[in-house]
Amino acid sequence: MGYICLNVIYMYLKPKEERMFSGEYGIAVQKSMEILVALGDIYNAEKLVDITSAQISGVSYKTIGDAGLEFLKDIGKDATVMVQSTLNPAGIDLSRKDLGFSEEFIERQLEIIEAYRSMNITTTCSCTPYLVGNVPVKGDHVAWSESSAVAYVNSIIGAKSNREGGPGALSAAICGKTPKYGYHLDEERKADLIVELEIELELIIVLLDI
């Protein structure tokens, strides 16, 4: 067991996590661990926590461009996600190719989708992963992108996730871990604003003649 030091912040890593960081589990895991440890350094996380699922952004070709596509192709040669993982929406409707996009854009977008699929990521391309089978349970640690999904998973489901960026969520999915900071900490999940409403509610029943 040991500590990885970046600048002056120390993150505690378990023996297997050290081996992942050192490259014993392949270059994709190593690169992903480097990203996670760097994020932990930025946010003063003391350790990593296991996750049960990921929701990954950085899917649209318009967003990530050729550089992002090359990164996905490169890391996808040696990567398979360790937890249930779903995708944010793409830059096109994958069921229709007749909506005015250039052939080049469509081709690049499909390459991005295929790169994610090669890592065993479910290419749902939805910003509501909880409606397409990615449903954590209360108390789970997850690594989700997409603002509304993060709000939903923390408040309605009661799982724990920060608002991840695309590379961070992908790295977490590949390693099955994410830095323990922010909403992964119980003390950071306490409300600092409480709104009390004093109002009489009326029950309105609408009968539909179907």
Query: What is the arithmetic mean of pLDDT over 102-128?
Result: 94
pLDDT of 210 over the 70 cut: no
pLDDT tens digit string along 158-200?
Answer: 999 999 999 999 999 999 999 999 999 999 999 888 889 888 8
pLDDT tens digit string along 68-113?
Answer: 999 999 999 999 999 999 999 998 887 777 777 899 999 999 999 9
**Concatenated DSSP letters for the chain?**
-EEEEETTEEEEE-HHHHHHHHTTT-HHHHHHHHHHHHHHHHTT--BEEE-SEEEE----HHHHHHHHHHHHHHHHTT---SSEEEE---SS-TT---SS--HHHHHHHHHHHHHHHHTT-B----S-GGGTT----TT-B-EE-SHHHHHHIIIII--B--B--HHHHHHHHHHTEEE--GGGSGGGGS-S------------------
Whole-prediction pTM: 0.86
Asked if the structure places residue 194 within a domain, the reply is no
Asked if the structure places residue 167 within a domain, the reply is yes
Question: pLDDT band for position 208 (50/70/90)?
Answer: low
The pLDDT assigned to 207 comes to 67
Asked if the structure places residue 201 within a domain, the reply is no
What's the domain range around 181?
A: 2-189
The pLDDT assigned to 8 comes to 45
Asked if the structure places residue 200 within a domain, the reply is no
Give percent of the chain with pLDDT exceeding 90: 77
Asked if the structure places residue 195 within a domain, the reply is no
The pLDDT assigned to 82 comes to 97
Q: Which CATH number fits the domain that encloses residue 66?
A: 3.30.499
Q: Please give the tally of structural domains in the chain.
A: 1
Asked if the structure places residue 102 within a domain, the reply is yes
The pLDDT assigned to 175 comes to 98
